[in-house]
Chains A and B, each alone.
Chain A
Amino acid sequence: MSLLSAHLLPCFVYAVILLFFFNKTGLNIFAILNSIKYFILLLFFIFIARALTVEGHIIFSFYGISITEQGLNEGFLVAFKFFLVMVTGLLFSTTTQPSSVKSAVQWFLKPIPFVPEKRVAVMISLSLSFMPVILKQAKEISDAQKARCGDLQKNPVKRIIRLVLPLLKKTFLSADSLVLAMESRCYNDDRTDPEFLPSGKENYFLVGSFVISLSLACL
């Protein structure tokens, strides 16, 4: 049973497990919540939409708009599930180095024929490491437009086009420079494999994950 189709109790159990891992990693949970505040706002809208649209036992009605008990329950459950998925992703991305993700992708794709696993792994790694560069470029373009009163343009489509076109141009130019830099350092697919340093606890984590997943599915 996947997390999305699970009911409330396993979700709470999973939330407790997540809290345990957050505590173990020493991450500031409030800082994490602050970083996803807009996503939480979106979840609130999902909750309201569900509460207003699901039919059931009416607990409040105003000018034909009704909030049902089933709607509140379902809205909370859906929003909570999305929240857990988001936080799990955040926990993963903040505790896992991109190079480890790259190595894992390469390892998983290795047995699949006709898939150039090393090239795919390098592409994933480059995408991850170039995100800060692309975001920095987007901020520079946005600031340059604001400096010329670009924020007076209220049409969101025009604003997006004005941002996206120069950003794409810059990104493609950066990609060209990257290709040259990689070529100049003899890049090819036949490279030294990434280093895998086993901690010796992999089997415990595998069994633990399996047991937790099975328990959640049974709840």
Chain B
Amino acid sequence: MQESIIDINAICHTFSDGYIGIKNISVSIYKGEFIILSGKNGSGKTTLLRHLNGLLLPDSGIIFVNGQDVSKHLVQTRKTVGMVFQDADTQIVGDTVFDEVAFGLENLKVNRAEINEKVSLILENLNLFHLKDRSPSTLSGGEKRKLAIAGILVMDPEVIVFDEPFSNLDYPGTLQVLSTIINLNRSGHTIIIATHDVETIICEATRIIIMEKGLIKEDGEPDRIVKYLESYGVKEPCSSKFGLGLQPWLT
């Protein structure tokens, strides 16, 4: 039996203006899964993701990460569940690529020698080491997104959550980020991606969760869910439409 890493029990969240973000969500996420969280704009994807990292806390219900209540163990949760935001520009805080990746470890008060060692290793793994002294603002879209991933990865998370990772990226940038995400999943990380464009990654996913109006409407394997996508406002991949099944985007 698979071991769960995140357990969400009946959580609800209403914003201060009365808008209901999510309603009575219960779901378990297992180690090593590759999950696509999809749905129309405003369906509650981002709100749910922010609960996994403790950025939002539920009004009712409870979330456990590795068996610990998120609301009582925020730092541990944020170390376990890393979050890559949609807009890399507003996520980057460092003056150089190296400083940006070091930011998370500095917050955890890791000693400088260890920071230097870990940051160099991550930059080499993601093929960003040659850019270590560059200002992040001068990088391409794909490189910025990879830098944001490096900034999370250096904190050694078990789960990495992506909010629309391919938005505003050109084709080479999308390829760069896609291959990085696939490699992360193959190296044992649990991946959760919120997107309304599933075509790029559906072939790699082990599970799709569809949300609508703050509720989970579908939850299952991509092969089964793919035909229902359009009824929830999500475009069905072309290969599936033309009867070719799910084809990998990365050749």
Which residues of A pack against B, CB within 8 Å? 97-99, 102, 125-126, 128-129, 132-133, 174, 177-178, 180-188, 190-193, 195
Contacts and interface: CB of A to CB of B under 8 A. Distances in A.
Interface in B75-126: 75, 78-79, 82-83, 85, 87, 89-96, 99, 103-112, 115
B90 A184 contact: no
Contacts, number: 80
A70 to B, nearest CB: 47
B137 interface: yes
B137 A184 contact: no
Contact of A99 (B83, B95, B105, B112): B95
B93 A181 contact: yes
B152 interface: yes
Nearest to A131: B137
Interface of B: 50, 53, 55, 75, 78-79, 82-83, 85, 87, 89-96, 99, 103-112, 115, 135-137, 151-152, 155
B83 A187 contact: no
A185 B107 CA distance: 7
A214 to B, nearest CB: 34
Given A99-B99, A192-B110, A181 B104 contact: no
A129 B95 contact: yes
B83 A184 contact: yes
B168 to A, nearest CB: 13
Contact of B137 (A129, A183, A193): A129
Given A98-B95, A178-B90, A181-B91, A192 B104 contact: no
B107 A186 contact: yes
7 A-B pairs with the lowest CB-CB distances in the bound complex, closest first: A177-B90, A181-B91, A185-B104, A98-B95, A192-B106, A132-B137, A186-B107
Nearest to A99: B95
Contact of A185 (B87, B90, B103): B103
Contacts of B112: 192-193, 195
A177 B84 CA distance: 11
A93 to B, nearest CB: 12
The winner among A97, A126, A129 for most chain B CB atoms within 10 A is: A129
Dominant SS among interface residues on chain A: helix
Contact of B104 (A126, A186, A195): A186
A180 B112 CA distance: 25
A125 B109 contact: no
Given A185-B107, A190-B109, A129 B115 contact: no
Given A184-B53, A184-B55, A129 B93 contact: yes
B227 to A, nearest CB: 35
18 contacts: A102-B95, A125-B95, A126-B93, A129-B93, A132-B137, A133-B137, A174-B89, A178-B93, A182-B93, A183-B55, A184-B78, A184-B82, A184-B83, A184-B85, A185-B152, A186-B108, A188-B107, A192-B106
A192 B111 CA distance: 7
Contacts of B79: 186
B78 A185 contact: yes
The winner among A183, A185, A188 for most chain B CB atoms within 10 A is: A185
Given A126-B93, A129-B93, A188-B107, A180 B85 contact: yes
Contacts of A129: 92-95, 135-137
Nearest to A182: B93
B151 A185 contact: yes
Nearest to A174: B90
Nearest to B79: A186
A122 to B, nearest CB: 8
Contacts of A183: 55, 78
Given A129-B92, A184-B85, A185-B155, 4 more contacts: A186-B79, A186-B104, A187-B107, A192-B111
A191 B106 contact: yes
A132 B55 CA distance: 27
A104 to B, nearest CB: 13
A68 to B, nearest CB: 49
A191 B109 contact: yes
Contacts of A184: 53, 55, 78, 82-83, 85
Contacts of A191: 106-107, 109
B137 A181 contact: no
A128 B109 contact: no
